[in-house]
Structure 1
Amino acid sequence: MPDENNNRHRILDGMRKAVHDKLAPKQRDLPKTTKGKAGALLREEMKRSTETDPKKREAAAKKSLAARLGVKVDSVYRYLSGKRKNPPKEIAEKLDKEVRDSAKPGLKKKVVAESRGKSIRIQSRAKFGYGTSATPGVTTTPDARWRNIAETLPASYATPLWDALEHGDDARAQEILQSYLQNEYINEGGKHGNVEVKLEDLDYMDFTIG
């Protein structure tokens, strides 16, 4: 069975990546090494800690960072000391994502604000079925299959997607995308009658901000 929650995450994760890509020229000062990334995240965790004793605060921060990355505390020590320079790919990607997500929140908000009201380009490989629903309450979705999609979402769809991103609303993001596929991609604004779409799976979802 398709993982619907995973589908939803791919939509908002794709938008977050688009924001990161837009910020890339302004984020050249982000740490590049495993040690540097772990150190930056540790400092962030220490600021959040309510511990007053410095040693306890650092220990608690390392424990929180380990949970955040999904690794053991010993691994965090190795990253911070530089003994482990090349963690597994999944952890390396997590480190990179967490560092970018925590960096320059003001700039990220500015990119999102500037993108509202504008169209956004999507590229995706999605699996969905569709069919004509002539009878009220009857939905047909035959021949669900993978389709490559390269479309430009107009502001009427892009703006609510940014709202969904701001609120972390994965379910709403999927509703908006499915609505676009149904109303514009398949129906072409109503040219082909009452066609209903059922989005079943997503392989990937890339966004490009103009």
Structure 2
Amino acid sequence: MGRQVMPATPVLDALRDIHRLERDRLAAVPQKGMPKSPQAQVAFLHRRLGRSTPRVAALLGVHPETVRRYLRGQRRNPPPEFADRLHREVAARFRSRLARQADDEMRRRGLRAYITATFTFYSPSAGTSEDGRERRLNEDLTPSETERLLAARDAGDEERALQIVGQGVGEAYFDLRGTGMDVEVRDLVHIKFEL
């Protein structure tokens, strides 16, 4: 039976998966829910757009006085088209806020990496090991390694992300931190992250 073919960007895809799961977890927390009423939604946009009534009005395609009426609670039942547009704009901004919170939580706690791959090592004194064998490891990445990993994700750099994960997992598992040895991942079979 043959090996599964990994997607073109397995590390970045796994990071996107954990990011989405954490964002969804944060969205499920009741006190951090998205504003529900039209007045609360308009107020949310008003705060997010620097308390600029004309900017909110332009975003929603309405007159600034309409925005003021919603802010004062004088209008409560928007027409369906306006309600849809309002919901879409609020949801887009709310998701971006949750995405930042998810990234902050990952940076603060660090990630746990589950990886199946072949690891090789390089030491300035001993050279490169040719005895790479497939290993199934799960280790915690430090918050600084997680920070660098998220930066590689934001840059779309799959190669750098794999290098960071390989080095972090290898150093933790083989107790190489501070030894100057480099760890390289070859033949990645599986990767997954957890908080």
Q: Please, what TM-score do these two structures have when normalized by structure 2?
A: 0.53
Rg larger in 1 or in 2?
2
Match status 1:108 vs 2:99: yes
Amino acid at match of 2:104: A
Q: CA 1:199–1:152 in 2, change beyond 3 Å: closer, same or farther?
A: same
Task: Return the match for 1:157 from 141, 145, 150.
Answer: 145
Q: Does the 8 A contact of 1:8 with 1:173 survive in 2? A: no
Aligned match of 2:55: none
Quote the offset at 1:151 in angstroms: 0.5
1:101-134 deviation per Cα after TM superposition (whole angstroms, max 9, x unaligned): xx93332232112322322111111112236542
Task: Return the match for 1:126 from 117, 135, 140.
Answer: 117
1:36-92 deviation per Cα after TM superposition (whole angstroms, max 9, x unaligned): xxxxxxxxxxxxxxxxxxxxxxxxxxxxxxxxxxxxxxxxxxxxxxxxxxxxxxxxx
Amino acid at match of 1:156: S
Q: CA 1:13–1:128 in 2, change beyond 3 Å: closer, same or farther?
A: same
Q: Does the 8 A contact of 2:115 with 2:191 survive in 1? A: yes
How many residue pairs get matched?
A: 125
Amino acid at match of 2:128: T
Q: Does the 8 A contact of 2:152 with 2:158 survive in 1? A: yes
Quote the offset at 1:176 in angstroms: 1.3
- Structure 2 unpaired stretches of 5+: 1-5, 29-93
> Aligned partners of 2:172 and 2:20: how far apart in 1?
28
Q: CA 1:8–1:113 in 2, change beyond 3 Å: closer, same or farther?
A: farther
1:13-49 deviation per Cα after TM superposition (whole angstroms, max 9, x unaligned): 1111011222334678xxxxxxxxxxxxxxxxxxxxx
Amino acid at match of 1:123: Y
Q: What percent of counterpart residues are identical?
A: 23
Task: Return the match for 1:189 from 167, 172, 177.
Answer: 177
- Alignment RMSD: 2.8
Amino acid at match of 2:22: K
1:178-210 deviation per Cα after TM superposition (whole angstroms, max 9, x unaligned): 3224543324324xx55443311211111112x
Q: Does the 8 A contact of 2:113 with 2:165 survive in 1? A: no
Q: CA 1:132–1:164 in 2, change beyond 3 Å: closer, same or farther?
A: closer
> Aligned partners of 2:96 and 2:148: how far apart in 1?
21
Q: CA 1:163–1:175 in 2, change beyond 3 Å: closer, same or farther?
A: same
> Aligned partners of 1:175 and 1:8: how far apart in 2?
15
Q: Please, what TM-score do these two structures have when normalized by structure 1?
A: 0.50
Amino acid at match of 1:200: R
Q: CA 1:161–1:12 in 2, change beyond 3 Å: closer, same or farther?
A: same
Quote the offset at 1:173 in angstroms: 1.0
